[in-house]
Amino acid sequence: MKDTMIGVDLAKRVFQLHGARMTGEVTFRKKLSREQFLAFMAAQPACLVVFEACPSASYWAREMTAFGHEVRLIAPQYVRPFVKRQKNDAAYAEAIMIAARQPEMRFVAPKTAEQQARAVLFRSRERLVCQRTELANALRAVLDECGHVFPVGLGHLKRIAALLDDPACDLPALIIAECRDLLAQIAEKTERIDAKTRNLKALAAETDTARRLQTMPGGGPLTALAVEAFAPDMAQFRSGRDFAAWLGFVPRQHSTGGKARLGRISKAGQADIRRLLIIGAMTRIMGRARHKVPAESWIGRKLARKPKMLVGIALANRMARQIWAMLTRNEDYRDPALEAA
């Protein structure tokens, strides 16, 4: 049983440490450089080290584990209530340590190096998509100022290119040159996005977990890879409902006096997985008419009473619970309608 706990306020160069016994008795307060921190922790007996969940926390968690320490990460919103008066590095390191002693505290699972690598590739593709959207919006804005209006969507870029190539085009030469430059940048971004998409699909085909997740309708390779990269071990959740709540699919509460007041979904969890699940759910709903999904099905019954977007979020919640069941039981997707039959 470890009898020492060290709360660490991570930074780039200077780290603040707050050491205490499990009973709360303070043993030391130290401010160390990056090199001093590594040497100090390597010389310490095995203890419990607590970090705030920040960008470098998973890296340092792996380093501390290599020294034989037990590591726990705490979400920043759970640390702030324990900061005494004004915020400084010493007070924050102490707050991290005090928060970790709370019996009901929830901890964040550190990411492995492989998870971080997949997350970097995933986020890189998302960044390129945002940049391409920005360029497309800028192109439409330039043409709108000159009296040429085009709908939103990359599918209309061919119409824009045809306008610029038209000899009868009434746009000034400088604007035509600028628009062609924007089109070239969009094409370059698209090529890079396609290359990263191929890499992500290849990664999604390497593991049994990603293959299993893709058996679920609406769950493509990007969704499968996002779950692998960003979701913790499913064994940490007691049920699929807990995993759906972690993703932010539960209503925001403002309840008091025994009266429940529920609002929109909290959106308090992992945004990438939540967004992809909603996109997958809407794909299933929009494809319902094409594939003649029976009106007595779960989706059909919901659409008869609720708006499409509301049904899409409910379906995404259901998909999250199905993901938990598939990964905890090591089973492929099973259609509930067929199971009921």
Residues 212 and 324 in one domain: yes
124 and 47, same domain (yes or no): no
72: β partners: 50
Partners of residue 29 on adjacent β-strands: 18
In degrees to the nearest 10, what's the CA dihedral of 297, 301, 307, 309?
A: -30
With respect to residue 91, please indicate whether it lies within any of the assigned structural domains: yes
The per-residue pLDDT for range 175-224, each reduced to its tens digit, is: 999 999 999 999 999 999 999 999 999 998 888 889 999 999 988 899 99
Q: How confident is the model at residue 341 (pLDDT cuts 50, 70, 90)?
A: very low
139 and 263 assigned to the same domain:
no
Whole-number mean pLDDT of the chain?
A: 90
Question: Does 106 map to a domain?
Answer: no
Please check whether residues 135 and 189 belong to one and the same domain: yes
pLDDT of amino acid 293: 59
Q: Are 84 and 97 in contact (CB under 8 A)?
A: no
How much of the chain, in percent, has pLDDT values that exceed 90? 69
Whether 155 and 213 share a structural domain: no
Q: Which secondary structure element, helix H or strand E, spans residue 8, and what is its range?
A: strand 4-9
pLDDT average, residue stretch 56-63? 95
DSSP states of 21-46? ETTS-EEEEEEEEHHHHHHHHHHSPS
Evaluate whether residue 107 is within a structural domain. no
240 plus 316 within the same structural domain: yes
> For residue 14, what are the domain limits?
4-100
State the Cα–Cα distance between residues 313 and 272, nearest whole angstrom: 14
| Whether 183 and 259 share a structural domain | no
Q: Residue 140: count other Cβ atoms within 10 Å of its Cβ.
A: 21
In a domain, 105, yes or no: no
Which residue did the predictor score with more confidence, 292 or 246?
246
Determine the average pLDDT of the residues in 268-295: 80
Q: Give the pLDDT confidence score for residue 260 in this predicted structure.
A: 80
User: Average of pLDDT values for 11-35?
Assistant: 92
- 186 and 219, same structural domain? no
Do 22 and 95 lie in one domain? The reply is yes
User: How far apart, in whole angstroms, are the C-alpha atoms of residue 198 and residue 207?
Assistant: 16
Q: 163 pLDDT band (50/70/90 cuts)?
A: very high
Residue 171 is encoded by which pair of tokens?
A: 């746009």
pLDDT reading at 78 higher than 90: yes
Other beta carbons less than 10 A from residue 48's beta carbon: 19
Residue 93 within any structural domain of the chain: yes
| Number of domains composing the chain | 3
Position 3 scores a pLDDT of: 84
Quick one: residue 26, left, alpha or beta (phi over 0 = left, psi -120 to 50 = alpha)? beta
Residues 135 and 257 in one domain: no
% of residues, the chain, pLDDT over 70: 96
- Looking at the domain assignment, is residue 151 inside a domain? yes
d(CA 61, CA 116): 13
